[in-house]
Amino acid sequence: MILQGPPGTGKTWLARRVAYALIGQRDESKVRVVQFHPNLSYEDFIRGWRPSGEGRLVLVDGPMMEIIQEATVDPSSKYVMVIEEINRGNPAQIFGEMLTLIEVGKRTPSEAMELSYRKKSGEKVYVPDNFYLIGTMNIADRSLALVDLALRRRFAFFDLEPILDSTWENWVHEKNGIDRLFLNEVRGRLMRLNQEISEDRSLGSQFSVGHSYVTPS
């Protein structure tokens, strides 16, 4: 799934908590966090040739292949990859064959495929069903290209919005001892600001200010 929303709505925080919930415990060894950017390539993320200290090129697995291999040899455990800013890269270019292999109906050894770079003749790879992908997407970044339709077909998208309700007020008050009158003032001002941003034709709700900016850690 992909969590999308304005900055400060807790996408990263929630993605990690969902990952721990899937695993059943807070086990960092079974969670891999990466971030996409415009220069990221298939060779970086899946597998590619890299220079070695001996002056030659060696075929090296990227983070996606590493965690898939870990999940394959440990089928009794769940593994999760969190991809920050998943819409900052070119999905078709970065995922390559993995766009097909991550589909629910393709996650069996019988659906294995050869990768663009093989470590041995006849090598085929499949994605086990104990491996999960969670992405985050900042919808306020207008410099990004539209997300590839192939990616949209393979992920469930969930919208996150700024939340400044009683739960937020009670948590900040109880954890940090901040006066409720002050919190009400903060909430009122931020809600009015977000209303103006949403109504501005040059901006819109995607540029709203998230609650994380006014929530002490």
146 shares a domain with 203? no
Count up the domains in the chain and report the number: 2
Q: Which of 69, 89, 79 is nearest to 60 (CA)?
A: 69
112 shares a domain with 177? no
**Residues of the domain holding 26:** 2-159
198 shares a domain with 95? no
Q: Across all residues in the chain, what is the average pLDDT?
A: 92
DSSP label at 13?
A: H
Predicted TM-score (pTM) of the model is 0.89
Q: Which of 87, 81, 1 is nearest to 34 (CA)?
A: 81
Burial track 182-192 (b if 16+ CB lie within 10 A, e otherwise): ebeebbeebee
Q: What is the pLDDT of residues 164-209, one digit of tens each?
A: 999 999 999 999 999 999 999 999 999 999 999 999 999 999 899 9
142 shares a domain with 178? no
Paired tokens of 41: 């390539």
CA distances from 11 to 61, 95, 121, 157, 178 (A): 28, 22, 41, 12, 25
94 shares a domain with 124? yes
135 shares a domain with 200? no
Give residue 147's pLDDT: 63
92 shares a domain with 114? yes
170 shares a domain with 155? no
Q: What is the pLDDT of residues 59-78, one digit of tens each?
A: 999 999 999 999 999 999 99
The CATH number of whichever domain residue 124 belongs to comes to 3.40.50
Give residue 142's pLDDT: 52
User: Any idea which residue has 């809600």 for tokens?
Assistant: 191
Q: Which of 54, 55, 51, 61 is nearest to 119 (CA)?
A: 61
